Amino acid sequence: MGRETQGGIVGAGPAGLLLSHLLHLQGIDSVVLELRSRADIESTIRAGVLEQGTVDLLTAVGVGERMRREGSVHHGIVLRFGGRDHRIDLHGLTGGRAIMLYAQHEVIKDLVKARLDAGGRLLFEVTDVSVHDFDTSAPKVRFRQGGEPQELRCDFVAGCDGFHGICRPSIPATRRTEYQRIYPFGWFGILAEAPRSTPEIIYARHERGFALVSTRSPELQRLYLQCDSKDDIANWPDERIWQELKARLATTDGWSLMDGPITQKGIVAMRSFVVEPMQYGRLFLAGDAAHIVTPTGAKGMNLAVADVRVLARALAEFFTSRSTELLERYSQTCLPRVWRAQRFSWWMTAVTHRFDDDDAFSGQLQLAELDYVTSSRAAATALAENYVGLPMDASSLK
Ligand code: FAD
Ligand code: DHB
């Protein structure tokens, strides 16, 4: 069976859903195809930190109301090392900018609702998705729905299907360059029904490995600890998790970590990845389909949002004037920001994690780096401006 739309969007993550919403606001029709069920995408636990620019965009396009009510604004973060806390005053160092703690699956719920309320076409639980003819002006997406083969004819395809999706590998290998770094460790993430232990996120460097304390609500906390990349959650009964977190987060001033029942556990692989260019013909990659950052900088979802903001503008220009100028520049516009986020995420990882080849010298360098960034206003400002989110255009940093 055949269908038509202007935009065929593969993947209903933050990138695909927000792109569909932004296009709709400009009168451009799209269809979003998603492998998983609505219930599944609305309950998968992932990111939590939204940059100021992401918050501003979600608000401006009418999907920020619940976020503003239920999310929490944080004006600083804490770097903990040597058993002591050092606060980075994000707000004071960036002229009043901040971050919002609001779970990614809540952003997903808000976007799905906005699309469905506007009559948007989101097809869940499709299978066998493949993209075709995107080197012509008549691309197609083929898939099965309820087992029935379907074909979606469109003017362009947006590959928003995450790192393991099918869009990126559909670009001929000779037409893309991939940059990748894989780390020997991962993050063990938990959700715990416990009171807050800290008003602000704590990034802790410890000889036993990195730990992170974040939050979702006054009653629900999100914590991570560095683990072996091949580790198994079966190796981590609740008591071991709390013991390890408490050891890595111990301070010299009597602070204590509040524990409680653990309701979710998962291991996240650590990877840095970029594909260049992020487009081929009429196929445009956005979000994790094009790049992965280590989670230490909290940048992944924010980069996905930044990509689709650029793509939506370029497509709007195309559909109003048939000009392909912005579309042709899509990769060039996105990639500098992607690499700046890679640099920052790599740096945050490098100064806080235990590496396999750890030697006493590297450990001292990490401490010197952390000491510098928490005692020099210039260095702290550099961290803060990256953490709250760099502007789209690097020239405005001058
Ligand atoms: P995804 O969210 O991966 O969405 C892709 C969608 O495509 C999925 O729903 C998938 O089911 C679907 N799909 C895949 N293949 C197909 C196919 N063939 N056909 C149709 N659909 C398909 N980022 C931050 O900004 N801040 C943070 O604090 C942060 N913390 C993180 C913590 C953890 C533990 C993890 C794992 C990630 C974190 N991130 C963070 C990263 C962030 O979650 C991702 O960067 C973000 O989800 C990227 O969005 P996306 O829409 O590009 O891809
Ligand atoms: C969270 C995730 C991150 O990757 C991070 O750097 C900080 C917080 C979170 O899930 O809350």
pLDDT digits (tens, 9 = 90+) for 291-311: 999 999 999 999 999 999 999
Q: Which atom of ligand 1 is nearest to the CA of 166?
A: 18
> 147, exposed or middle or buried, with CB in 10 Å at 0-12, 13-18, 19+?
exposed
Active site positions, annotated: 74, 203, 295, 299, 387
% of the chain surpassing 70 pLDDT: 97
- Across the range 357-361, mean pLDDT stands at 79
Q: What is the pTM of this model?
A: 0.97
pLDDT score, position 192: 98
Q: Tell which residue, 303, 324, 315, 341, has the closest CA to residue 158.
A: 315
What is the pLDDT of the chain when averaged over all its residues?
A: 96
- Across the range 374-391, mean pLDDT stands at 96
How many angstroms is it from 38 CA to the middle of ligand 1?
15
pLDDT score, position 155: 97
- Across the range 270-279, mean pLDDT stands at 98
Q: For residue range 77-136, list pLDDT tens digits in order.
A: 999 999 999 999 999 999 999 999 999 999 999 999 999 999 999 999 999 999 999 999
How many angstroms is it from 93 CA to the middle of ligand 2?
21
The whole-angstrom separation of Cα 44 and Cα 28 is 29
The SS3 call for residue 77 is strand
> 119, exposed or middle or buried, with CB in 10 Å at 0-12, 13-18, 19+?
exposed
Q: For residue range 197-248, list pLDDT tens digits in order.
A: 999 999 999 999 999 999 999 999 999 999 999 999 999 999 999 999 999 9
- Across the range 168-174, mean pLDDT stands at 98
φ and ψ at 337, to 5 degrees? Answer: -65, -40
For a mutational test of ligand 1's pocket, the pick from 17, 46, 338, i.e. the residue with the most ligand atoms closer than 8 A to its C-beta, is 46
Ligand nearest, relative to CA of residue 295: 2
Q: For residue range 34-68, list pLDDT tens digits in order.
A: 999 999 999 999 989 999 999 999 999 999 999 99
* Residue 41 CB-half CA count within 13 A: 26
The whole-angstrom separation of Cα 23 and Cα 296 is 31
pLDDT at 1 over 70: no
The maximal CA–CA distance of the chain, rounded, in angstroms, is: 67
Q: Which atom of ligand 1 is nearest to the CA of 36?
A: 11
Q: Whose CA is nearest to atom 1 of ligand 2?
A: 48
The whole-angstrom separation of Cα 379 and Cα 388 is 15
How many angstroms is it from 300 CA to the middle of ligand 1?
8
% of the chain surpassing 90 pLDDT: 95
Residue with tokens 């949002």: 305
* Residue 356 per-residue DSSP state: T
The whole-angstrom separation of Cα 201 and Cα 50 is 13
- Measured from the CB, is residue 47 less than 6 Å from ligand 2? yes
- Measured from the CB, is residue 49 less than 6 Å from ligand 2? yes
If pLDDT is split at 50, 70 and 90, which confidence band does 391 have? confident
Sign (positive or negative) of CA dihedral 331, 336, 337, 339: positive
